[in-house]
Amino acid sequence: MGHIQKRTEKSKRTGKTTTAWQARYSAPDGRERSKRFDRKVDAENWLGTNGADIARGRWIDPAAGRIKFADWSEQWKGTLTGLRPSTRVRDLDYLDRYLLPTFGQIALSSIDHMAVASWLAGLTTTGPTPWWDPIEQPDRKRKPISPATAVKALQILRKILATAVRAGKITSTPATRLTVPESSAPKCGSWAPPKLTSWLCRSARAIKHWFSSPLMAGFGSVNSPAYAAAASTSSKVG
Protein backbone atom coordinates (compact mmCIF):
# COMPACT_ATOMS: atom_id res chain seq x y z
CA MET A 1 0.00 0.00 0.00
CA GLY A 2 1.45 3.35 -1.00
CA HIS A 3 1.13 6.80 0.48
CA ILE A 4 2.10 10.36 -0.37
CA GLN A 5 3.53 12.90 2.02
CA LYS A 6 3.58 16.63 1.45
CA ARG A 7 6.91 18.21 2.32
CA THR A 8 7.41 21.96 2.64
CA GLU A 9 10.89 23.41 2.96
CA LYS A 10 12.17 26.95 3.33
CA SER A 11 15.50 27.94 1.85
CA LYS A 12 17.88 29.41 4.42
CA ARG A 13 19.64 31.40 1.70
CA THR A 14 16.68 32.90 -0.18
CA GLY A 15 13.86 32.43 2.29
CA LYS A 16 11.73 30.93 -0.48
CA THR A 17 9.33 28.15 0.43
CA THR A 18 9.03 25.13 -1.84
CA THR A 19 6.60 22.23 -1.76
CA ALA A 20 7.34 18.67 -2.85
CA TRP A 21 5.48 15.36 -2.71
CA GLN A 22 7.19 12.23 -1.40
CA ALA A 23 5.61 9.00 -2.64
CA ARG A 24 6.35 5.65 -0.98
CA TYR A 25 5.24 2.05 -1.41
CA SER A 26 6.26 -1.38 -0.19
CA ALA A 27 7.73 -3.53 -2.96
CA PRO A 28 7.33 -7.31 -3.32
CA ASP A 29 10.93 -7.78 -2.17
CA GLY A 30 10.00 -6.33 1.22
CA ARG A 31 11.86 -3.08 0.72
CA GLU A 32 10.29 0.37 0.59
CA ARG A 33 10.66 2.44 -2.55
CA SER A 34 10.27 6.22 -2.58
CA LYS A 35 10.50 9.06 -5.03
CA ARG A 36 10.08 12.80 -4.77
CA PHE A 37 7.96 14.90 -7.14
CA ASP A 38 7.23 18.58 -7.65
CA ARG A 39 3.57 17.86 -8.39
CA LYS A 40 1.15 15.70 -6.43
CA VAL A 41 -0.42 14.29 -9.60
CA ASP A 42 2.96 12.91 -10.72
CA ALA A 43 3.41 11.21 -7.35
CA GLU A 44 -0.07 9.69 -7.65
CA ASN A 45 0.63 8.42 -11.17
CA TRP A 46 3.91 6.87 -10.05
CA LEU A 47 2.23 5.07 -7.19
CA GLY A 48 -0.60 3.93 -9.46
CA THR A 49 1.76 2.50 -12.05
CA ASN A 50 3.83 0.57 -9.53
CA GLY A 51 0.71 -0.61 -7.71
CA ALA A 52 -0.76 -1.96 -10.94
CA ASP A 53 2.50 -3.74 -11.81
CA ILE A 54 2.59 -5.34 -8.38
CA ALA A 55 -1.03 -6.50 -8.69
CA ARG A 56 -0.31 -8.08 -12.11
CA GLY A 57 2.89 -9.68 -10.93
CA ARG A 58 4.91 -7.59 -13.38
CA TRP A 59 6.75 -5.36 -10.93
CA ILE A 60 10.49 -5.08 -11.50
CA ASP A 61 13.07 -3.48 -9.27
CA PRO A 62 13.91 -0.12 -10.93
CA ALA A 63 17.58 -0.72 -10.17
CA ALA A 64 17.59 -3.84 -12.35
CA GLY A 65 17.08 -1.84 -15.54
CA ARG A 66 19.94 0.53 -14.81
CA ILE A 67 22.45 -1.89 -16.28
CA LYS A 68 23.91 -0.49 -19.48
CA PHE A 69 23.09 -2.10 -22.79
CA ALA A 70 26.77 -2.84 -23.46
CA ASP A 71 27.13 -4.67 -20.13
CA TRP A 72 23.94 -6.64 -20.69
CA SER A 73 24.96 -7.60 -24.22
CA GLU A 74 28.11 -9.16 -22.76
CA GLN A 75 25.90 -11.40 -20.61
CA TRP A 76 23.68 -12.11 -23.62
CA LYS A 77 26.65 -13.44 -25.55
CA GLY A 78 26.79 -16.31 -23.09
CA THR A 79 23.33 -17.44 -24.21
CA LEU A 80 24.38 -17.90 -27.85
CA THR A 81 24.35 -21.66 -28.16
CA GLY A 82 23.57 -23.95 -31.08
CA LEU A 83 24.66 -21.42 -33.71
CA ARG A 84 26.93 -22.11 -36.63
CA PRO A 85 30.32 -20.42 -36.14
CA SER A 86 29.67 -18.16 -39.13
CA THR A 87 26.27 -17.12 -37.75
CA ARG A 88 27.75 -16.29 -34.36
CA VAL A 89 30.52 -14.21 -35.96
CA ARG A 90 27.96 -12.34 -38.07
CA ASP A 91 25.65 -11.60 -35.13
CA LEU A 92 28.48 -10.32 -32.94
CA ASP A 93 29.77 -8.21 -35.83
CA TYR A 94 26.31 -6.65 -36.25
CA LEU A 95 26.20 -6.02 -32.51
CA ASP A 96 29.52 -4.17 -32.63
CA ARG A 97 28.69 -2.23 -35.79
CA TYR A 98 25.03 -1.34 -35.55
CA LEU A 99 23.90 -1.67 -31.91
CA LEU A 100 26.64 -0.76 -29.46
CA PRO A 101 27.55 2.63 -31.00
CA THR A 102 23.96 3.79 -30.43
CA PHE A 103 22.74 1.92 -27.34
CA GLY A 104 25.95 0.80 -25.63
CA GLN A 105 26.07 3.39 -22.85
CA ILE A 106 22.30 3.66 -22.33
CA ALA A 107 20.55 1.89 -19.44
CA LEU A 108 18.16 -0.85 -20.52
CA SER A 109 15.24 0.88 -18.82
CA SER A 110 15.97 4.08 -20.74
CA ILE A 111 15.68 2.48 -24.19
CA ASP A 112 12.14 3.28 -25.32
CA HIS A 113 10.17 2.67 -28.50
CA MET A 114 10.98 6.05 -30.02
CA ALA A 115 14.71 5.53 -29.48
CA VAL A 116 14.56 2.19 -31.31
CA ALA A 117 12.37 3.57 -34.11
CA SER A 118 14.73 6.51 -34.65
CA TRP A 119 17.75 4.20 -34.70
CA LEU A 120 16.09 1.86 -37.19
CA ALA A 121 15.10 4.67 -39.54
CA GLY A 122 18.61 6.09 -39.44
CA LEU A 123 20.20 2.82 -40.52
CA THR A 124 18.72 3.02 -44.00
CA THR A 125 18.75 6.82 -44.41
CA THR A 126 21.76 8.55 -42.84
CA GLY A 127 23.55 5.33 -41.98
CA PRO A 128 24.51 3.77 -38.63
CA THR A 129 26.37 5.65 -35.92
CA PRO A 130 30.11 5.32 -36.69
CA TRP A 131 31.69 2.28 -35.10
CA TRP A 132 35.11 3.31 -36.41
CA ASP A 133 37.40 5.92 -34.88
CA PRO A 134 36.73 9.28 -36.63
CA ILE A 135 40.18 10.49 -35.58
CA GLU A 136 41.95 7.57 -37.24
CA GLN A 137 39.63 7.61 -40.26
CA PRO A 138 38.57 11.26 -40.67
CA ASP A 139 37.54 10.80 -44.32
CA ARG A 140 35.23 7.87 -43.70
CA LYS A 141 31.57 8.83 -44.08
CA ARG A 142 28.35 7.30 -42.80
CA LYS A 143 26.49 5.31 -45.45
CA PRO A 144 22.98 3.82 -45.38
CA ILE A 145 22.77 0.05 -45.08
CA SER A 146 20.32 -2.15 -46.94
CA PRO A 147 16.85 -2.89 -45.50
CA ALA A 148 17.81 -6.58 -45.24
CA THR A 149 20.81 -5.72 -43.08
CA ALA A 150 18.67 -3.38 -40.97
CA VAL A 151 16.14 -6.19 -40.41
CA LYS A 152 18.88 -8.49 -39.16
CA ALA A 153 20.23 -5.81 -36.83
CA LEU A 154 16.70 -5.33 -35.46
CA GLN A 155 16.33 -9.07 -34.92
CA ILE A 156 19.51 -9.14 -32.85
CA LEU A 157 18.34 -6.15 -30.79
CA ARG A 158 15.04 -7.94 -30.14
CA LYS A 159 16.86 -11.06 -28.95
CA ILE A 160 19.00 -9.08 -26.52
CA LEU A 161 16.04 -7.16 -25.10
CA ALA A 162 13.92 -10.33 -24.89
CA THR A 163 16.52 -11.95 -22.67
CA ALA A 164 16.44 -8.81 -20.49
CA VAL A 165 12.68 -9.20 -20.09
CA ARG A 166 13.01 -12.87 -19.15
CA ALA A 167 15.75 -12.00 -16.68
CA GLY A 168 13.57 -9.38 -14.98
CA LYS A 169 15.63 -6.38 -16.02
CA ILE A 170 12.81 -4.63 -17.91
CA THR A 171 9.06 -5.22 -18.05
CA SER A 172 8.74 -5.33 -21.84
CA THR A 173 10.76 -4.87 -24.99
CA PRO A 174 10.47 -1.59 -26.91
CA ALA A 175 11.64 -3.23 -30.15
CA THR A 176 8.18 -4.22 -31.38
CA ARG A 177 5.72 -2.92 -34.00
CA LEU A 178 8.47 -1.47 -36.14
CA THR A 179 8.71 -1.20 -39.92
CA VAL A 180 12.03 -1.11 -41.72
CA PRO A 181 12.10 1.84 -44.15
CA GLU A 182 12.98 1.17 -47.76
CA SER A 183 16.49 2.02 -48.79
CA SER A 184 17.02 5.47 -50.28
CA ALA A 185 19.82 4.12 -52.49
CA PRO A 186 19.37 4.62 -56.25
CA LYS A 187 17.55 1.77 -57.96
CA CYS A 188 17.43 0.53 -61.53
CA GLY A 189 19.37 3.37 -63.14
CA SER A 190 17.60 6.22 -61.32
CA TRP A 191 20.81 8.18 -61.78
CA ALA A 192 20.44 8.08 -65.58
CA PRO A 193 18.29 10.07 -68.04
CA PRO A 194 14.64 8.87 -68.27
CA LYS A 195 15.02 6.92 -71.53
CA LEU A 196 18.17 5.17 -70.37
CA THR A 197 16.57 4.43 -67.00
CA SER A 198 13.63 2.77 -68.74
CA TRP A 199 15.96 0.65 -70.88
CA LEU A 200 18.04 -0.39 -67.87
CA CYS A 201 14.93 -1.46 -65.94
CA ARG A 202 13.61 -3.52 -68.88
CA SER A 203 17.02 -5.12 -69.36
CA ALA A 204 17.33 -5.99 -65.68
CA ARG A 205 13.89 -7.64 -65.67
CA ALA A 206 14.69 -9.57 -68.85
CA ILE A 207 18.00 -10.86 -67.49
CA LYS A 208 16.37 -11.88 -64.21
CA HIS A 209 13.61 -13.71 -66.09
CA TRP A 210 16.11 -15.47 -68.36
CA PHE A 211 18.29 -16.75 -65.51
CA SER A 212 15.25 -17.96 -63.56
CA SER A 213 13.79 -19.84 -66.54
CA PRO A 214 13.65 -23.68 -66.63
CA LEU A 215 16.04 -23.68 -69.58
CA MET A 216 18.77 -21.87 -67.67
CA ALA A 217 18.11 -24.01 -64.62
CA GLY A 218 18.78 -27.04 -66.81
CA PHE A 219 22.18 -25.70 -67.80
CA GLY A 220 23.21 -25.66 -64.14
CA SER A 221 25.03 -28.97 -64.52
CA VAL A 222 27.07 -30.48 -67.33
CA ASN A 223 25.18 -33.71 -66.73
CA SER A 224 21.78 -32.10 -67.33
CA PRO A 225 19.66 -33.08 -70.37
CA ALA A 226 19.65 -29.49 -71.59
CA TYR A 227 23.43 -29.33 -71.54
CA ALA A 228 23.71 -32.67 -73.37
CA ALA A 229 21.21 -31.58 -76.01
CA ALA A 230 23.05 -28.32 -76.58
CA ALA A 231 26.39 -30.12 -76.84
CA SER A 232 24.96 -32.63 -79.33
CA THR A 233 23.53 -29.86 -81.52
CA SER A 234 26.82 -28.00 -81.41
CA SER A 235 28.79 -31.05 -82.53
CA LYS A 236 26.45 -31.68 -85.43
CA VAL A 237 26.73 -28.11 -86.63
CA GLY A 238 30.52 -28.29 -86.44
Q: Are residues 122 and 86 in the same domain?
A: yes
Q: What is the mean pLDDT of residues 120-146?
A: 94
Q: What is the mean pLDDT of the chain?
A: 83
The one-character DSSP state at 105 is T
Q: Are residues 83 and 31 in the same domain?
A: no
pLDDT score for 122: 95
* Domain range for 7: 3-59
Q: What share of the chain is helix, strand, coil (3-state, %, to 5)?
A: 50, 10, 40
Q: Is position 16 within any domain?
A: yes
Residue 59 CB burial class (10 angstroms; 0-12, 13-18, ≥19): buried
Tally of structural domains, the chain = 3
Q: What is the mean pLDDT of residues 76-88?
A: 92
The three-class DSSP label of residue 184 is coil
Q: Are residues 110 and 93 in the same domain?
A: yes
pLDDT score for 227: 41
